Amino acid sequence: MSDHFKDLLYANALINTTNNFVPINVTRHPSKFPADKVVEALKLQKVMNILLYKAIKDHATYEISTMDEIYNMLVKMKRTNNKKKLTLIYMRTDYLLNKDYVLKQVEINTISVAFVELNPRLNKVHSVEHKNVWLPENMPKFVQMVTLVRDSFIETNGYNDVIALLLDDNTSLQSANFFEKKNLIFELAAKGITMLHVTAKDIEIKGVFENDKFIYDGKCVFFVYLRYFYNYDHHDDNIMELRRRIENSDAVTLPSIELQIIGLKMFQVIFESKDVLRKYLSDAQVKSIYDHFGDFKNIKDYQTGDENTYILKSMREGGNTIITEDFQNYINEPDKYFLMKKIDSITVSNRFYTEKDDVDMILELGVLGTLIEYDGNVILNEPSGFICRSKKKGSNECGVTCNYGGLDSVYKN
């Protein structure tokens, strides 16, 4: 690894603040991944946005009989205030490209969507030494989204001098992806939007709920962006009550409880049904996305030998959620695990920045999407950039923070 490259990582705040302030794991150079498949995934995202939007509006989404702890908890916290409120979807759809050159979904993410800001910083670092590196518009799109939310909030509610909150479990320098969070705040500040990095304890001290208003430190809150609270054990009674109160205020949350519900892994299995998809999408839309869904089955349908062709996925969010052996130990927990058919992915030649030689790696493409709706009118529906992460061939996990994978770039042609 050249000192120059490492210096560029430090200069661009690509730093893991939870691990001795070393650079976060990244690839040494861009990967050669088919550019036309990136374009295809970006086009698919508009349909994915609509799918989630329609499912959010379906009462049946919140009436599923399951023992899944987080689903049942979230349903109890969803908004009960009937006052009209902006619907905001911001999500990431993750794909692998199989050897038949078909994009296959790995999962969708609707809460704590990370690396929106950090990945473009790596793209710029790679572009110092390589030509035609793709520089996606993640940040301009994110800022555009928050600006639209603010303007719509002011117009519909008549409030002025509003602020946004980035709600986290920890606001210290040791917070996961600390520099990304701060850079998001700086980018918004450059456009005249104040976003404060706060914890639930801060809101307990400085927050007030008056009728439909959420007031923090004397100012009306228009937007609450969650970078935590994605698992059941992140919630206690106080957090649950706080989220209920925020949901029932005029403040727009990202994600809303409804969006977090529809992003749960259990819906990957539900959306595999064409009958379910046809409730929300036209035949043409179903046809455009169906072949890109993964192949799933209930753990109760496990058969001897499934370990050869399936992985076992936990319903939990975050890393360390994939199991590859001894499936029989989990067949009595269908509300915690499900089976996903392995994807035989193409490989790219690359290496992590700390290593000397290129090896076969697998690139995972994460496409960002935004949809904003108010009173039945879709104000915005578009792809909002993408991130790339690569892992070594044979690795099941692609988590960057835990060093299973690394942020990556692709060429535009």
CB contact at 8 A, 3 and 326: no
Q: What is the DSSP letter of 25?
A: P
Cα(253)–Cα(191) distance, integer angstroms: 20
CB contact at 8 A, 384 and 99: no
Cα(278)–Cα(46) distance, integer angstroms: 16
- Supply 173's token pair: 């320098």
Q: Are strands 162-168 and 219-226 parallel, antiparallel or unpaired?
A: parallel
Q: What is the DSSP letter of 356?
A: S
Which among 156, 181, 35 is positioned nearest to 87, based on CA atoms?
Answer: 156
- Supply 71's token pair: 């689903």
CB contact at 8 A, 339 and 296: yes
Q: In a 10 Å sphere around its CB, with 0-12 CB exposed, 13-18 middle and 19+ buried, how is residue 308 labelled? A: exposed
- Supply 215's token pair: 């007031």
Q: Check whether 107 is labelled as a binding-site residue.
A: yes
Q: Check whether 389 is labelled as a binding-site residue.
A: yes
Q: Check whether 227 is labelled as a binding-site residue.
A: no
Q: Check whether 343 is labelled as a binding-site residue.
A: yes
Q: Check whether 109 is labelled as a binding-site residue.
A: yes
Q: What is the DSSP letter of 31?
A: B
Q: Are strands 252-254 and 296-298 parallel, antiparallel or unpaired?
A: unpaired
Q: Are strands 377-392 and 337-341 parallel, antiparallel or unpaired?
A: unpaired
Q: What is the DSSP letter of 327?
A: G
Cα(186)–Cα(297) distance, integer angstroms: 44
Which among 218, 278, 224, 216 is positioned nearest to 251, based on CA atoms?
Answer: 224
Question: What is the distance of C-alpha 56 from the center of its chain?
Answer: 17
Which among 192, 200, 168 is positioned nearest to 181, based on CA atoms?
Answer: 168
- Supply 48's token pair: 């994915």
Q: Are strands 252-254 and 219-226 parallel, antiparallel or unpaired?
A: parallel
Q: Check whether 391 is labelled as a binding-site residue.
A: yes
Cα(171)–Cα(181) distance, integer angstroms: 9
- Which residues participate in the annotated binding site for substrate? 92, 389
- Which residues participate in the annotated binding site? 92, 107, 109, 265, 317, 340-343, 364, 389, 391, 397
- Which residues participate in the annotated binding site for ATP? 107, 265, 340-343, 364, 391, 397
